[in-house]
A and B are shown apart, each in its own frame.
Chain A
Amino acid sequence: MDNSFALPRIKPIMRTSPWVPCPAIEERFGEMSKPMRDYVKRLLHLPIRERIGVMMSGSLAFTLSKASVDLPFGATAFGLTNTTLYHGLWAATLDDTLAGNTATECAYTSYARLGLTNNTTIFAAGSGTTTYTKTFPSDATKSFATSTGTGTNNTVTYLGILNGNAGTSADKGYAWCSVTSTVINNGDTPQLAQNALTLVQD
């Protein structure tokens, strides 16, 4: 029987090229398209709280993406009822197929979707040219209903926006985003801070 073991060989780490400091992103501007340059410049100049908003993970839902292309290309009337936009919380991953009957919507006792009147007080005009950034709710913090019991699906990780509150597939998805994992217990009131949601269109 062989009895063997390995002896460590000491090998110093040697640099093989001159030390080069990591370039600032501005030094890469020559390799970027102008829209990308403008986007990075805008990010660099944003206050940190807005940069966090820009980097939020989410998307427009398919129904809204389709409607927003069919309107300018084909002049198809915008058909998604939107006098009120309903914001719901979910305990599982969402994607662009979001609809009003998507399972795992939060169901702590007394949970209800947050209905926000669709006007420029709450959804104020955004800013930007090469990319358009809109934040809402523009006017104030908005509260969901206070929990009166644990219920089910009370650890929320996603927020979805719909154009209805029927609770069926008739409620079409507008947009969704991920939120920090939040457990909602009896007596808790979930809130959306003023301008908590950021939508970026490029």
Chain B
Amino acid sequence: MEKPATYSGRLVCDGDDNLLASEGDWEGHPVAFHEGSYVFVQPGEPSHNQRHQQNVLVVNGTVSAEDLQNPEVIAELERRGASTDPADHKHHEPGYIEEDDPHYHPTAPNNIKLLVHPDAISPMVTSHTEAYKNG
């Protein structure tokens, strides 16, 4: 079967800079965003991340407000490049949720009720080439 020029479907990344097709006949094959669509990456070509990466952001866990008073904790967060702004950690405490959070619900336990998409549309809301057609 001849590989098409572009891919349409669910996406996944492998942690090693590759964006991959996640369904269909070409599941597991590397793809990359190129001029509005997702093209298959040919052997020897740069991966998706190699083509587009300008900056790395480390995703760090939150710490409690009390820990943010500890100079050792501050130093470690700074070493990791993580934010030391209390505002970026305020959701650390169990049950903390702000009223403008989409999952806030005034009468739910802990005021949290997760919203869900119907299964008929949820696969294409994100992690899918169709979700990114308009950039």
Chain A residues with a Cβ under 8 A of chain B: 48-49, 51-53, 55-58, 86, 88-89, 91-95, 97-107, 109-116, 137, 140, 142-149, 151, 153, 156-159, 165-170, 177-182, 184-193, 196-198
- For the complex, give the distance between the alpha carbons of A92 and B101 in Å: 6
CB-based contact A188/B92 at 8 Å? no
Task: Answer whether residue B5 sits at the interface, using C-beta atoms and an 8 A cutoff.
Answer: no
Task: Answer whether residue B58 sits at the interface, using C-beta atoms and an 8 A cutoff.
Answer: yes
Give the number of A-B contacts (CB < 8 Å): 230
Q: List chain A residues, Cβ under 8 A from B118.
A: 101
Q: Give the distance to chain A from B13, nearest Cβ to Cβ, in Å.
A: 4
Q: List chain A residues, Cβ under 8 A from B128.
A: 167
> Which one of A52, A114, A145, A189 contacts B61 once the chains associate, using CB atoms below 8 Å?
A52
Known: A142-B15, A165-B12. Is A180-B82 also a contact (CB below 8 A)? Answer: yes
Chain B residues with a Cβ under 8 A of chain A: 10-17, 19-20, 22, 33, 48-49, 51-64, 67, 72-73, 75-77, 80, 82-83, 87-89, 91-94, 97, 101-104, 110, 112, 114-119, 122-128, 131-132, 135
Q: List chain B residues, Cβ under 8 A from A184.
A: 57
Known: A145-B13, A165-B10. Is A111-B59 also a contact (CB below 8 A)? Answer: no
- For the complex, give the distance between the alpha carbons of A144 and B115 in Å: 24
CB-based contact B10/A167 at 8 Å? yes
- CB-nearest residue of chain A relative to B127? A112
Known: A148-B33, A151-B132. Is A115-B14 also a contact (CB below 8 A)? Answer: yes
> Which one of A142, A143, A165 contacts B127 once the chains associate, using CB atoms below 8 Å?
A165
Q: List 16 A-B contacts (CB under 8 A).
A: A48-B76, A56-B62, A95-B114, A100-B122, A101-B122, A109-B132, A110-B33, A111-B11, A112-B11, A180-B89, A181-B87, A182-B59, A189-B55, A191-B57, A192-B58, A196-B59
